[in-house]
Amino acid sequence: MFAHPLTSTKANSRAAFGVIHAGLALLLLASCDKPAPPPAPAPPEVGVVTVAPSAVTVTTDLPGRVTPFLVAEVRARVDGIVLKRLFVEGSDVKEGQVLYQIDPAPYQAALDSALATLEKAKAALTSAQAQAARYKVLVAANAVSKQDYVNATASSGQAAADVAAAKAQVETARINLGYTEVRAPISGRIGLTDVTVGGYVQASAATLMSTIQQVDHVYVNIAQSVSDLLRLRREAASGQVAMAGPDGVKVTLALDDGSTYPLGGQFQFSDITVDQGTGSVTLRAVYPNPDYLLLPGMFVHAKLVEGISPSAILVPDIAVTHDAKGDPTTLVVDADNKVELRKLVTGQTYGANWIVESGVKAGERVIVRGIQFVRPGMPVKPVEDPPTAPPASAPASKP
């Protein structure tokens, strides 16, 4: 038997409709299982510090060398054999104290001879003066010629000159005899002796016998480069730094072991001559040294307070990085809360901050936390962090 054609067509239509309906159902189910797109991420949170001008004390760390307050070389002023040494090496001596005894015998003899010559000259003067006085009476009575009177007067004058010369010889002999006792020219600490007992010293060679240095006060000579000096003057002229007066300049010392010298010094002067070899000028300060902690020739680090910068721009050190060229940079949040990269011109350090000469301005927000999670142009959520305050004992200094 065969089916009716019309019945077969209707059955086929129903089957096709069922297939289409089933496909649409599957598509609807597939679309219901697909997740919705995620929401946009929130801007990352960063810590910022608002830049504000601050008054900072400007200091410079400079190398220095200790020199004695006074130095005197003890040298021989007469020839002779050293008979005694009358001091202990390395001890303190007083001005005028006898240090060495040179053999005085030949100089005592010279003094005695000069004294005898003086007495002889005095006797000759007395005789010449008496004769001149007598001839003065006789020439008035024409008992002697005028020429004889003139000769007698001249002899009296020559005898007076001989007395004066003899006195000078006596004084010279006495001075030379005094030089046989070699005395300390200044008070201070004496060093090693350069001659021994029995050694021969000469005045013509100015034989060095020892050296005395006064070190209860010492000088510290500090070398400052010309570039730093010019920078300081330029900043002072522009009003960036208020210069400290000569009486207000403070200089503190750090010793080789890192300790700070406990006593303060007083700035004295700045030299006007530039050392051609180092390109620096010498500054000098004087320090009390009662315990002899500072020794001549010792190397020290001097911290010189140059002045006060009334409106310095401080940027925390943690906010400053360096680019591939080594130039300092920082990240700033702009008015639209987007990150902006700035190149900086930095000067000295001030505690945990940099003094910035250009690159940021007062009122701008510098990123100090979360720097590693942001890039220039990104939107961020800024949160104000407390500023990094420098300690009171940490003035601005060169890095």
- Residue 392: the pLDDT is 45
- Residue 3: the pLDDT is 47
Per-residue pLDDT of the chain (399 residues; tens, 9 = 90+): 444 454 444 455 555 555 555 555 555 545 555 565 677 678 889 999 999 888 887 777 888 999 999 999 999 999 999 999 999 999 999 999 999 999 999 999 999 999 999 999 999 999 999 999 998 889 888 888 999 989 999 999 999 999 999 999 999 999 999 999 999 999 999 999 999 999 999 999 999 999 999 999 999 998 888 877 777 677 666 655 555 554 556 788 988 888 899 998 887 877 888 888 888 888 888 999 999 999 999 999 988 776 777 788 889 999 999 988 889 999 999 989 999 999 998 877 887 888 888 899 988 999 999 888 889 999 999 999 876 655 444 455 554
The rounded Cα 281 to chain-centroid distance in angstroms is 10
Q: Sign (positive/negative) of CA torsion 225, 227, 229, 235?
A: negative
- Residue 168: the pLDDT is 96
- Residue 75: the pLDDT is 97
Cα separation of 257 and 174, whole Å? Answer: 53
Structure tokens at 24: 């649409």
- Residue 6: the pLDDT is 45
Place of tokens 């942001």: 374
- Residue 399: the pLDDT is 46
Cα separation of 31 and 33, whole Å? Answer: 6
pTM for the model: 0.64
- Give Cα separations from 335 to 10, 51, 65, 120, 339 (angstroms): 73, 14, 52, 109, 10
Q: What is the 3-state secondary structure (H, E, C) of the chain?
A: CCCCHHHHHHHHHHHHHHHHHHHHHHHHHHHHHCCCCCCCCCCCEEEEEECCEEEEEEEEEEEEEEEEEEEEEEECCCCEEEEEECCCCCCEECCCCEEEEECCHHHHHHHHHHHHHHHHHHHHHHHHHHHHHHHHHHHHCCCCCHHHHHHHHHHHHHHHHHHHHHHHHHHHHHHHHHHCEEECCCCEEECCCCCCCCCEECCCCCCEEEEEEEEEEEEEEEEEEHHHHHHHHHHHHHCCCEECCCCCCEEEEECCCCCECCCCEEEEEECCCCCCCCCEEEEEEEEECCCCCCCCCCEEEEEEEEEEEEEEEEEEHHHCEECCCCCEEEEEECCCCEEEEEECEEEEEECCEEEEEECCCCCCEEEEECHHHCCCCCECEEEECCCCCCCCCCCEECC
Which domains does the chain possess? 46-56+311-384 (2.40.420.20), 59-68+215-307 (2.40.30.170), 77-103+180-206 (2.40.50.100), 106-178 (1.10.287.470)
- Residue 290: the pLDDT is 92
- Residue 344: the pLDDT is 92
- Residue 18: the pLDDT is 55
Pairing of strands 45-50, 365-369: antiparallel
CA angle 18, 19, 20 (to 5 degrees): 90
- Residue 274: the pLDDT is 85
